[in-house]
């Protein structure tokens, strides 16, 4: 019997129809196999999730919801979507789930459509402090259509000041408050946000896109007792396809469903819904709980190893899957470091750090995470080596030493041959 690790993906039809595109897919397979992927929003999905994403469900159009479609021939599709919904409710312990949003940004936009009117005040974490564009930041539609007010983190600790958040919420009285973000290395205090939202009379939304898998696996506290709505993508730590979900208390179910369809979208992507269902089944297994806790253990071990090498970590470390590094003490800008590390086979992204004096497209920091390397089986005993590679790569970036970067790349590729990635044929 062929195991998922042994399963060989080939693309004969694609190769015959479009050899140029097939070659690019093959090149990406080899790149993902040979490089250490440390972008915290990326992961490896299982062979089963990949297969579900490419089924004949692609051929179906299914506007509406199970039992209430505008197209006939939905006998199987309704069951697929119901399966995904019921699994989401079970994994996260929620009253209601909508698995139709195409991605995280449309899911968040549906929240605004459900609970606010254009021009209303909304509140979220400022983008340079670790928030997301869709939390009311000015360059986003959410900041153009709504009046966005932002909270941040303390400059001395890198942590959220809840006294400041409360003061801002009571002064501005937003309709919606978002908690969560894209560069938050510490545990989110959903209870504290819940108290503030209730006092301000706001709908509280937890954007857990980055930590959904950690929540599902019990490695991060759940927002369910404290928030009105949960928004999440289905990839990242959840190891599903590129999609999204909205979950809520029953009282908000109708408003959210109406906002997703017909408010923002037409027919759902049924092949993605199927892959979400598979990922949620995987997330319900004991092995996924082990995975989620291993992600956090690896991140903490990696943070400790970086601190020992003199790196400046925002907030001093991490509680989750993510590490945000300020490279100012290393005298190497984040963008230069990220591009050099890429040449060394270590894939990261350059990132703004709180109170960054540099511009967003040329910031001071880099952002790294452990979901992908944990999916490959790397453990805490490997994190010192990873930190050493990062240290050598950043030093080589500052010195312009391409030979040193090439040496790191060879060492990375050599180690990774012993840790094949799920779902890859190479």
* Enzyme catalytic residues: 61, 63, 207, 233, 236, 242
Could you list the beta-strand ranges (E) of 24-120.
36-37, 64-65, 68-69, 96-98
- Alpha carbons 309 and 77: distance in angstroms, whole number: 53
Tally Cβ neighbours within 10 Å of residue 157.
13
- CA-to-CA dists, residue 35 to 91, 288, 345, 400, 418, angstroms: 32, 23, 5, 21, 13
> Checking DSSP bridges between strand 203-207 and strand 229-233, what pairing results, if any?
parallel
Report CA torsion sign: 152, 155, 158, 162: negative
Sequence-distant (6+) residues with CB within 8 A of 109 are 134, 141, 142, 264
Q: Residue 205: what are its φ and ψ, rounded to 5°?
A: -120, 125
How buried is residue 12: exposed, middle or buried, by Cβ count under 10 Å (0-12/13-18/19+)?
Answer: exposed
Could you list the beta-strand ranges (E) of 57-182.
64-65, 68-69, 96-98, 121-125, 147-151, 176-179
CB 98 within 8 A of CB 246: yes
H or E, element range at 350? strand 349-351
Sequence-distant (6+) residues with CB within 8 A of 176 are 111, 112, 115, 116, 120, 122, 123, 202, 203, 205
- Alpha carbons 121 and 143: distance in angstroms, whole number: 10
Tally Cβ neighbours within 10 Å of residue 34.
16
């Amino acid at each position: 019997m062929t195991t998922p690790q042994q399963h060989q993906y080939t693309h004969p039809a694609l190769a015959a129809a479009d050899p140029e595109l097939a070659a690019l897919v093959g090149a990406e397979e080899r790149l993902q196999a040979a490089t250490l992927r440390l972008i915290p929003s990326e992961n490896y999905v299982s062979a089963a999730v990949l297969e579900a994403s490419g089924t004949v469900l692609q051929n179906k159009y299914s506007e509406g919801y199970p039992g209430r479609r505008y197209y006939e021939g939905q006998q199987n599709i309704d069951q697929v979507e119901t399966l995904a919904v019921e699994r989401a409710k079970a994994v996260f312990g929620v009253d209601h789930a909508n698995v139709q949003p195409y991605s995280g940004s449309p899911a968040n936009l549906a929240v605004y459509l459900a609970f606010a009117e254009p021009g209303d005040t909304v509140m979220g974490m400022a983008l340079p402090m670790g928030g997301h564009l869709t939390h009311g930041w000015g360059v986003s539609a959410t900041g153009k259509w709504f009046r966005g007010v932002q909270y941040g983190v303390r400059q001395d600790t890198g942590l959220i000041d809840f006294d400041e958040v409360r003061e801002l919420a009571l002064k501005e009285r937003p309709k919606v408050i978002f908690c969560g973000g894209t560069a938050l290395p510490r545990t989110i205090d959903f209870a504290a946000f819940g108290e503030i939202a209730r006092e301000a009379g706001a709908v509280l939304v937890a954007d857990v896109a980055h930590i959904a898998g950690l929540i599902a696996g019990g490695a991060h506290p759940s927002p369910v007792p404290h928030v009105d709505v949960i928004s999440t993508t289905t990839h990242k730590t959840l190891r599903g396809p590129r999609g999204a979900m909205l979950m809520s208390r029953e009282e908000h179910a109708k408003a959210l469903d109406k906002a997703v369809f017909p408010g923002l979208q037409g027919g759902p992507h049924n092949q993605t819904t199927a892959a979400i269902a598979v990922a949620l089944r995987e997330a319900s297994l004991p092995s996924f709980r082990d995975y989620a806790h291993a992600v956090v253990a690896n991140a903490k071990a990696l943070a400790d190893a970086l601190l020992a090498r003199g790196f400046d970590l925002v907030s001093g470390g991490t509680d989750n899957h993510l590490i945000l590094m300020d490279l100012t003490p290393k005298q190497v800008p984040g963008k230069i470091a990220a591009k050099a590390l890429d040449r060394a086979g270590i894939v990261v992204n350059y990132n703004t750090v709180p109170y960054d004096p540099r511009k967003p497209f040329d910031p001071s920091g880099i952002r790294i995470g452990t979901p992908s390397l944990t999916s490959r089986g790397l453990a805490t005993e490997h994190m010192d080596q990873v930190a050493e590679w990062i240290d050598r790569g950043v030093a080589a970036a500052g010195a312009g030493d391409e030979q040193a970067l090439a040496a790191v790349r060879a060492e990375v590729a050599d180690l990774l041959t012993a840790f094949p990635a799920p779902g890859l044929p190479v």
